[in-house]
Copies of this chain bind each other. A is one copy, B any other.
Amino acid sequence: MAKIIILGSGVMGTSLTVPATDNGHEVLLVGTPLDLDIIAELNRPSGVHPKLDEACSNRVKPISFEMLRTEHFSEADMVVVGVSSPGIHWAVEILNQMMTEPRPVAFVTKGLDPAATGLATYAETLPPRIPMMSAFVGIGGPCIARELANRQPTASIYACKDVGVAKHFVDMMGTDYYRLSVTTDDAGVEACAALKNFFAIGVSAMQTHYPDRKRADGQSKNPTAAAFTQASLEMARLCERLGGTAATAFGLAGIGDLHVTVGGGRNSRLGHGLGAGRSASDVLSNELAGETVEGVDTARALATMLHSGGAAAVRDEDYFPLASAIMDAVLVEEPFRFDFATLAVR
Protein backbone atom coordinates (compact mmCIF):
# COMPACT_ATOMS: atom_id res chain seq x y z
CA MET A 1 0.00 0.00 0.00
CA ALA A 2 1.52 3.25 -1.12
CA LYS A 3 0.80 6.95 -0.74
CA ILE A 4 0.04 8.85 -3.92
CA ILE A 5 -0.30 12.59 -4.40
CA ILE A 6 -2.49 13.71 -7.29
CA LEU A 7 -2.29 17.42 -8.08
CA GLY A 8 -5.55 18.72 -9.53
CA SER A 9 -9.03 17.50 -8.62
CA GLY A 10 -10.65 17.97 -12.03
CA VAL A 11 -12.25 15.02 -13.79
CA MET A 12 -8.99 13.43 -14.93
CA GLY A 13 -7.10 13.81 -11.67
CA THR A 14 -10.06 12.50 -9.71
CA SER A 15 -10.72 9.58 -12.05
CA LEU A 16 -7.15 8.37 -11.48
CA THR A 17 -8.00 7.93 -7.80
CA VAL A 18 -10.27 5.03 -8.78
CA PRO A 19 -7.62 2.55 -10.01
CA ALA A 20 -5.20 3.87 -7.37
CA THR A 21 -7.56 3.17 -4.47
CA ASP A 22 -8.78 -0.10 -6.03
CA ASN A 23 -5.13 -1.15 -5.72
CA GLY A 24 -5.28 -0.31 -2.04
CA HIS A 25 -3.27 2.90 -2.18
CA GLU A 26 -4.05 6.08 -0.27
CA VAL A 27 -4.47 9.19 -2.38
CA LEU A 28 -4.04 12.81 -1.39
CA LEU A 29 -6.15 14.64 -3.98
CA VAL A 30 -5.03 18.25 -4.13
CA GLY A 31 -7.38 20.93 -5.46
CA THR A 32 -5.96 23.81 -7.49
CA PRO A 33 -7.03 27.41 -6.85
CA LEU A 34 -9.84 26.75 -9.35
CA ASP A 35 -10.96 23.57 -7.53
CA LEU A 36 -12.14 25.12 -4.23
CA ASP A 37 -15.78 24.16 -4.82
CA ILE A 38 -14.85 20.61 -5.81
CA ILE A 39 -12.77 20.04 -2.67
CA ALA A 40 -15.51 21.53 -0.47
CA GLU A 41 -18.08 19.25 -2.09
CA LEU A 42 -15.88 16.13 -1.83
CA ASN A 43 -15.33 16.83 1.88
CA ARG A 44 -19.06 16.86 2.65
CA PRO A 45 -20.53 13.61 3.96
CA SER A 46 -21.35 11.47 0.90
CA GLY A 47 -20.23 14.33 -1.32
CA VAL A 48 -19.87 13.60 -5.02
CA HIS A 49 -17.54 15.21 -7.55
CA PRO A 50 -19.69 17.89 -9.21
CA LYS A 51 -18.39 17.21 -12.74
CA LEU A 52 -17.75 13.49 -12.47
CA ASP A 53 -20.96 12.77 -10.56
CA GLU A 54 -19.17 10.12 -8.51
CA ALA A 55 -18.17 9.85 -4.86
CA CYS A 56 -14.54 9.12 -4.02
CA SER A 57 -13.26 6.10 -2.13
CA ASN A 58 -12.65 6.69 1.56
CA ARG A 59 -8.98 6.08 0.78
CA VAL A 60 -8.98 9.47 -0.98
CA LYS A 61 -8.25 12.54 1.10
CA PRO A 62 -9.33 15.68 -0.78
CA ILE A 63 -7.49 18.82 0.33
CA SER A 64 -7.08 22.30 -1.02
CA PHE A 65 -3.62 23.33 -2.21
CA GLU A 66 -3.27 25.69 0.76
CA MET A 67 -3.15 22.67 3.07
CA LEU A 68 -0.27 21.05 1.21
CA ARG A 69 3.01 20.64 3.15
CA THR A 70 6.47 19.43 2.20
CA GLU A 71 5.87 16.48 4.54
CA HIS A 72 3.15 15.23 2.21
CA PHE A 73 5.74 14.90 -0.51
CA SER A 74 8.35 13.37 1.78
CA GLU A 75 5.85 10.66 2.73
CA ALA A 76 4.52 10.10 -0.79
CA ASP A 77 5.59 7.13 -2.90
CA MET A 78 4.31 8.61 -6.13
CA VAL A 79 3.32 12.00 -7.57
CA VAL A 80 0.90 12.51 -10.46
CA VAL A 81 0.00 15.85 -12.01
CA GLY A 82 -3.62 15.69 -13.15
CA VAL A 83 -4.19 19.23 -14.41
CA SER A 84 -4.85 20.35 -17.98
CA SER A 85 -2.42 22.67 -19.75
CA PRO A 86 -3.66 25.98 -18.26
CA GLY A 87 -2.81 24.57 -14.82
CA ILE A 88 0.72 23.49 -15.62
CA HIS A 89 2.38 26.67 -14.29
CA TRP A 90 0.60 26.23 -10.98
CA ALA A 91 1.66 22.59 -10.78
CA VAL A 92 5.31 23.41 -11.52
CA GLU A 93 5.29 26.05 -8.79
CA ILE A 94 3.79 23.64 -6.25
CA LEU A 95 6.31 20.93 -7.11
CA ASN A 96 9.22 23.34 -6.79
CA GLN A 97 7.95 24.68 -3.45
CA MET A 98 7.11 21.34 -1.90
CA MET A 99 9.34 18.65 -3.33
CA THR A 100 12.55 18.53 -1.33
CA GLU A 101 13.79 15.11 -2.47
CA PRO A 102 14.32 13.75 -5.99
CA ARG A 103 11.22 11.98 -7.20
CA PRO A 104 9.68 10.95 -10.54
CA VAL A 105 6.48 12.75 -11.52
CA ALA A 106 3.80 11.59 -13.97
CA PHE A 107 1.74 14.06 -16.00
CA VAL A 108 -1.62 13.70 -17.73
CA THR A 109 -1.21 17.26 -18.96
CA LYS A 110 -1.49 17.35 -22.73
CA GLY A 111 0.09 20.06 -24.75
CA LEU A 112 2.95 21.55 -26.62
CA ASP A 113 4.68 24.09 -24.50
CA PRO A 114 3.95 27.50 -26.04
CA ALA A 115 6.51 29.00 -23.66
CA ALA A 116 9.24 27.06 -25.43
CA THR A 117 11.34 28.67 -28.11
CA GLY A 118 10.09 27.17 -31.31
CA LEU A 119 8.04 24.18 -30.31
CA ALA A 120 8.64 21.51 -27.73
CA THR A 121 6.76 18.91 -25.74
CA TYR A 122 6.43 18.94 -21.98
CA ALA A 123 8.76 15.93 -21.99
CA GLU A 124 11.50 18.37 -23.02
CA THR A 125 10.49 21.57 -21.28
CA LEU A 126 9.37 20.41 -17.83
CA PRO A 127 12.46 18.54 -16.55
CA PRO A 128 14.72 21.61 -16.54
CA ARG A 129 11.98 23.62 -14.81
CA ILE A 130 11.58 21.11 -11.94
CA PRO A 131 15.05 20.38 -10.50
CA MET A 132 13.79 17.83 -7.97
CA MET A 133 11.95 15.78 -10.61
CA SER A 134 14.16 12.72 -11.09
CA ALA A 135 12.18 11.44 -14.09
CA PHE A 136 9.35 12.71 -16.29
CA VAL A 137 6.52 10.26 -16.98
CA GLY A 138 3.94 11.16 -19.65
CA ILE A 139 0.52 9.50 -19.63
CA GLY A 140 -1.27 9.09 -22.97
CA GLY A 141 -3.93 7.04 -24.68
CA PRO A 142 -7.70 7.02 -25.13
CA CYS A 143 -9.14 7.84 -21.72
CA ILE A 144 -12.39 9.64 -21.11
CA ALA A 145 -12.18 10.37 -17.39
CA ARG A 146 -15.78 9.52 -16.54
CA GLU A 147 -15.44 6.10 -18.17
CA LEU A 148 -12.29 5.36 -16.20
CA ALA A 149 -14.08 6.44 -13.02
CA ASN A 150 -16.86 3.99 -13.98
CA ARG A 151 -14.25 1.25 -14.44
CA GLN A 152 -14.90 0.80 -18.14
CA PRO A 153 -11.95 -1.00 -19.79
CA THR A 154 -9.40 1.65 -20.64
CA ALA A 155 -5.98 1.22 -22.23
CA SER A 156 -3.34 3.86 -21.61
CA ILE A 157 0.38 4.21 -22.13
CA TYR A 158 2.96 5.48 -19.65
CA ALA A 159 6.11 6.95 -21.17
CA CYS A 160 9.46 7.50 -19.52
CA LYS A 161 13.00 7.52 -20.85
CA ASP A 162 13.77 5.19 -17.93
CA VAL A 163 11.46 2.29 -18.70
CA GLY A 164 11.87 0.95 -15.17
CA VAL A 165 10.27 4.10 -13.78
CA ALA A 166 7.37 3.79 -16.22
CA LYS A 167 6.90 0.17 -15.15
CA HIS A 168 6.85 1.20 -11.50
CA PHE A 169 4.03 3.66 -12.15
CA VAL A 170 2.20 1.02 -14.14
CA ASP A 171 2.55 -1.49 -11.31
CA MET A 172 1.03 1.02 -8.92
CA MET A 173 -1.80 2.23 -11.15
CA GLY A 174 -2.76 -0.67 -13.43
CA THR A 175 -5.90 -2.72 -12.70
CA ASP A 176 -7.99 -5.21 -14.63
CA TYR A 177 -9.94 -2.34 -16.23
CA TYR A 178 -7.06 0.19 -16.46
CA ARG A 179 -4.63 -1.58 -18.77
CA LEU A 180 -1.27 0.09 -19.10
CA SER A 181 1.53 -0.21 -21.61
CA VAL A 182 4.94 1.40 -21.35
CA THR A 183 7.24 3.12 -23.81
CA THR A 184 10.46 5.10 -23.67
CA ASP A 185 9.13 7.56 -26.26
CA ASP A 186 8.02 10.30 -23.87
CA ALA A 187 8.39 13.00 -26.53
CA GLY A 188 6.16 11.05 -28.90
CA VAL A 189 3.45 10.43 -26.31
CA GLU A 190 3.41 14.10 -25.36
CA ALA A 191 3.42 15.26 -28.99
CA CYS A 192 0.50 12.97 -29.82
CA ALA A 193 -1.44 13.99 -26.73
CA ALA A 194 -1.42 17.54 -28.04
CA LEU A 195 -1.72 16.79 -31.74
CA LYS A 196 -4.77 14.55 -31.42
CA ASN A 197 -6.79 17.47 -29.99
CA PHE A 198 -5.74 19.60 -32.93
CA PHE A 199 -6.53 16.95 -35.54
CA ALA A 200 -9.81 16.05 -33.85
CA ILE A 201 -11.02 19.52 -34.91
CA GLY A 202 -10.48 18.68 -38.57
CA VAL A 203 -11.81 15.13 -38.49
CA SER A 204 -14.90 16.23 -36.57
CA ALA A 205 -15.52 18.99 -39.11
CA MET A 206 -16.10 16.29 -41.72
CA GLN A 207 -18.99 14.89 -39.71
CA THR A 208 -21.04 18.06 -40.15
CA HIS A 209 -19.57 19.29 -43.43
CA TYR A 210 -20.80 16.27 -45.37
CA PRO A 211 -24.18 15.33 -43.93
CA ASP A 212 -26.08 12.20 -44.92
CA ARG A 213 -29.75 12.48 -44.15
CA LYS A 214 -30.29 8.76 -44.69
CA ARG A 215 -28.30 7.87 -41.58
CA ALA A 216 -29.52 7.95 -37.99
CA ASP A 217 -26.64 10.22 -36.93
CA GLY A 218 -26.93 12.36 -40.07
CA GLN A 219 -23.26 11.91 -40.95
CA SER A 220 -21.59 10.49 -44.02
CA LYS A 221 -18.73 8.08 -43.29
CA ASN A 222 -16.31 8.15 -46.24
CA PRO A 223 -15.06 11.73 -45.72
CA THR A 224 -14.54 11.22 -41.98
CA ALA A 225 -12.63 7.97 -42.49
CA ALA A 226 -10.43 9.62 -45.11
CA ALA A 227 -9.70 12.55 -42.81
CA PHE A 228 -9.04 10.23 -39.85
CA THR A 229 -6.45 8.40 -41.93
CA GLN A 230 -4.89 11.64 -43.12
CA ALA A 231 -4.79 12.93 -39.55
CA SER A 232 -2.95 9.76 -38.48
CA LEU A 233 -0.34 10.18 -41.21
CA GLU A 234 0.23 13.87 -40.49
CA MET A 235 0.31 13.20 -36.75
CA ALA A 236 3.04 10.60 -37.34
CA ARG A 237 5.09 13.07 -39.41
CA LEU A 238 4.72 15.86 -36.83
CA CYS A 239 5.45 13.42 -34.02
CA GLU A 240 8.79 12.64 -35.63
CA ARG A 241 9.59 16.33 -36.03
CA LEU A 242 8.89 16.79 -32.34
CA GLY A 243 11.37 14.10 -31.37
CA GLY A 244 9.05 11.10 -31.16
CA THR A 245 8.62 8.02 -33.31
CA ALA A 246 5.92 7.38 -35.91
CA ALA A 247 5.02 4.12 -34.15
CA THR A 248 3.79 6.11 -31.15
CA ALA A 249 1.39 8.02 -33.40
CA PHE A 250 0.00 4.70 -34.68
CA GLY A 251 -0.53 3.44 -31.13
CA LEU A 252 -2.71 4.26 -28.13
CA ALA A 253 -1.37 7.80 -27.68
CA GLY A 254 -2.00 8.69 -31.33
CA ILE A 255 -4.79 7.02 -33.28
CA GLY A 256 -6.28 5.56 -30.08
CA ASP A 257 -6.67 8.94 -28.44
CA LEU A 258 -7.74 10.57 -31.72
CA HIS A 259 -10.45 7.92 -32.04
CA VAL A 260 -11.91 8.75 -28.64
CA THR A 261 -11.59 12.50 -29.12
CA VAL A 262 -13.44 12.77 -32.44
CA GLY A 263 -17.15 13.09 -31.83
CA GLY A 264 -17.00 14.17 -28.20
CA GLY A 265 -15.52 17.01 -26.20
CA ARG A 266 -14.65 20.62 -26.88
CA ASN A 267 -12.23 20.17 -29.78
CA SER A 268 -14.82 18.12 -31.56
CA ARG A 269 -17.54 20.72 -30.92
CA LEU A 270 -15.32 23.37 -32.47
CA GLY A 271 -14.82 21.08 -35.46
CA HIS A 272 -18.55 20.50 -35.81
CA GLY A 273 -19.12 24.27 -35.89
CA LEU A 274 -16.38 24.79 -38.49
CA GLY A 275 -17.76 21.95 -40.60
CA ALA A 276 -21.17 23.62 -40.55
CA GLY A 277 -19.60 26.71 -42.11
CA ARG A 278 -19.26 28.86 -39.01
CA SER A 279 -16.11 30.79 -38.12
CA ALA A 280 -13.84 29.71 -35.28
CA SER A 281 -14.44 32.94 -33.34
CA ASP A 282 -18.19 32.47 -33.63
CA VAL A 283 -18.01 28.99 -32.10
CA LEU A 284 -15.40 29.96 -29.50
CA SER A 285 -17.33 33.01 -28.33
CA ASN A 286 -20.67 31.24 -28.10
CA GLU A 287 -21.07 27.62 -27.01
CA LEU A 288 -17.37 27.32 -26.10
CA ALA A 289 -17.06 30.71 -24.37
CA GLY A 290 -14.73 30.47 -21.40
CA GLU A 291 -13.73 26.87 -22.18
CA THR A 292 -10.20 25.65 -22.80
CA VAL A 293 -10.05 24.21 -26.32
CA GLU A 294 -6.63 22.60 -26.26
CA GLY A 295 -6.48 22.01 -30.02
CA VAL A 296 -6.53 25.77 -30.54
CA ASP A 297 -3.50 26.15 -28.30
CA THR A 298 -1.79 23.43 -30.32
CA ALA A 299 -2.65 25.28 -33.53
CA ARG A 300 -0.98 28.37 -32.10
CA ALA A 301 2.04 26.34 -31.02
CA LEU A 302 2.32 24.82 -34.50
CA ALA A 303 2.15 28.33 -35.93
CA THR A 304 5.00 29.28 -33.60
CA MET A 305 7.03 26.40 -35.00
CA LEU A 306 6.21 27.68 -38.45
CA HIS A 307 7.22 31.25 -37.73
CA SER A 308 10.40 30.17 -36.02
CA GLY A 309 11.44 28.97 -39.44
CA GLY A 310 12.65 25.71 -38.02
CA ALA A 311 10.11 23.61 -39.81
CA ALA A 312 8.63 25.63 -42.61
CA ALA A 313 7.45 22.50 -44.35
CA VAL A 314 4.69 22.20 -41.77
CA ARG A 315 2.85 24.48 -44.17
CA ASP A 316 3.85 22.46 -47.16
CA GLU A 317 0.43 21.63 -48.56
CA ASP A 318 1.78 18.40 -50.02
CA TYR A 319 2.63 17.01 -46.64
CA PHE A 320 0.23 18.62 -44.18
CA PRO A 321 -2.95 19.49 -46.05
CA LEU A 322 -5.21 18.71 -43.09
CA ALA A 323 -3.05 20.54 -40.53
CA SER A 324 -2.91 23.53 -42.87
CA ALA A 325 -6.69 23.57 -43.31
CA ILE A 326 -7.22 23.44 -39.54
CA MET A 327 -4.67 26.20 -38.87
CA ASP A 328 -6.25 28.41 -41.52
CA ALA A 329 -9.69 27.94 -40.02
CA VAL A 330 -8.69 28.30 -36.38
CA LEU A 331 -6.06 31.04 -36.57
CA VAL A 332 -6.82 33.05 -39.69
CA GLU A 333 -10.61 32.78 -39.54
CA GLU A 334 -10.86 31.31 -43.01
CA PRO A 335 -13.75 28.93 -43.68
CA PHE A 336 -12.70 25.36 -43.03
CA ARG A 337 -11.82 23.82 -46.34
CA PHE A 338 -9.94 20.56 -46.57
CA ASP A 339 -9.43 19.80 -50.23
CA PHE A 340 -9.25 16.06 -50.76
CA ALA A 341 -7.41 16.77 -53.99
CA THR A 342 -4.26 17.33 -51.96
CA LEU A 343 -4.34 13.66 -50.99
CA ALA A 344 -4.27 12.29 -54.51
CA VAL A 345 -1.68 10.21 -56.30
CA ARG A 346 1.77 9.86 -54.76
Given contacts A220-B152, A222-B144, contact A170 B345 (CB under 8 A): yes
A interface, how many residues as a size bin?
A: 35 or more
Our pick among B222, B228, B255, B344 for the contact of A152 (Cβ within 8 Å) is: B222
Interchain CB contact under 8 A, B345 and A225: no
Q: In residues 224-261 of chain A, which contact B (Cβ within 8 Å)?
A: 224-226, 228-230, 232-233, 236, 250-252, 255-257, 259-260
Q: How far is B166's CA from A344's CA once the two chains are assembled, in angstroms?
A: 12
Q: What CA separation (Å) do A153 and B343 show in the bound complex?
A: 11
- Name the B residues within 8 Å of A147 (CB-CB): 212, 220-222
A144-B221, A154-B222 as given contacts; A346 in contact with B251, CB under 8 Å: no
- Nearest neighbor of A230 in chain B, beta-carbon distance: B155
A250 in contact with B232 given A155-B343, A345-B181 (CB within 8 Å): yes
**In the complex, what residue of chain B is closest to A145 when comparing beta carbons?**
B222
From B144, B177, B229, contact of A251 by CB (8 A): B229
Kindly supply a per-residue 1/0 record for chain A positions 144-180, scoring 1 wherever the CB is within 8 Å of any chain B CB and 0 otherwise: 1011101011110000000000010010001011011
At the interface, is chain A mostly helix, strand, loop or mixed? Answer: mixed
Closest CB of chain B to A186's CB: distance in Å? 15
Complex contact A260–B225 (CB within 8 A): yes
A340 within 8 A of B: yes
- Nearest chain B residue, comparing its CB with the CB of A215: B264
Known: A154-B222, A226-B252. 9 other contacts (CB 8 A): A147-B212, A148-B222, A152-B210, A155-B222, A155-B225, A155-B226, A179-B343, A179-B344, A228-B259
